[in-house]
Amino acid sequence: MDAETPRQKWDRIYREWKGPFPDAAMVLSQNEHLLPGGGRALDLACGLGGNALFLARRGFEVDAIDLSEAGIEALAHAARLEGLPIHAQVGDVMEGQWSNGSYEVIVVTRFLERTLVKTIVGALKPGGLLFYQTFVKTKSSDHGPNNPRFLLHDNELIRLFDGLLIRYYRDEARTGRPDAGQRDEAFLVAQRPES
């Protein structure tokens, strides 16, 4: 049997999903107070769109992009039911074809492709905010991927986005009691300078 492609894998996962839509990522929900009053937002590699729904419910017009047709169909259906301004589209985020300076907010969670950093930063409007949460190499559990390509080194997220102003950062690694706190992921909120 041939191995699944990433699209096939995520389509299968989202078709089999039985729970409610996922909540917004912690980096977004715990830093909601940093959000501007509205504008355009991008939920990159959105999956089932928990972040897109969260933002649209707070007055943002959201572009949500994911590889999975099943995930996008579920999100588009939920957006229609609630009358939310979400443009959900199937697309390869690796193509990175977002207009420069288009978004007040960009959210990326549990997805890491280092080659997209410059494109992501360029898609932010001056003063725009990036909310980023993904897995780290120094883990306390087996949660998340094991492929080092998809894992951040210590403080790597800050280094990747060093041209932005850091507004919030968290990466606990194994410090203190590894059984407590939010482990295995790094959290960043960063702002594109106004000029």
Question: Which CATH number characterizes residue 61's domain?
Answer: 3.40.50.150
Looking at the domain assignment, is residue 172 inside a domain? yes
Residue entry with tokens 């990326």? 108
Please, are residues 63 and 87 in contact by the beta-carbon 8 Å criterion? yes
Q: Which residue has the tokens 């968290």?
A: 170
pTM: 0.89
Instruction: Report which DSSP code applies to 137.
Output: S
Decide if 41 contacts 63 (C-beta within 8 A). yes
Residue 141 lies in a domain: yes
What is the average pLDDT across 30-34?
A: 97
pLDDT digits (tens, 9 = 90+) for 117-163: 999 999 999 999 999 999 877 655 566 656 666 677 888 899 999 99
Residue reference for tokens 């999903």:
17
Domain that holds residue 86: 6-191
Question: Greater confidence, 7 or 188?
Answer: 188
> What share of the chain in percent tops pLDDT 70?
87
Torsion of CA 15, 21, 27, 29, to 10 degrees: 170
Q: Is the pLDDT of residue 175 over 60?
A: yes
Whole-number pLDDT of residue 141: 59
Say which amino acid occupies 21. Answer: F
Q: How many domains does the chain have?
A: 1
Q: How confident is the model at residue 106 (pLDDT cuts 50, 70, 90)?
A: very high
Q: In the structure, what pLDDT confidence band is assigned to residue 188 with cuts at 50, 70 and 90?
A: very high
- Residue 1 is assigned to a structural domain of this protein: no
Residue closest to 158 by CA, chosen among 189, 180, 183? 189
So what's the pLDDT on residue 195?
78
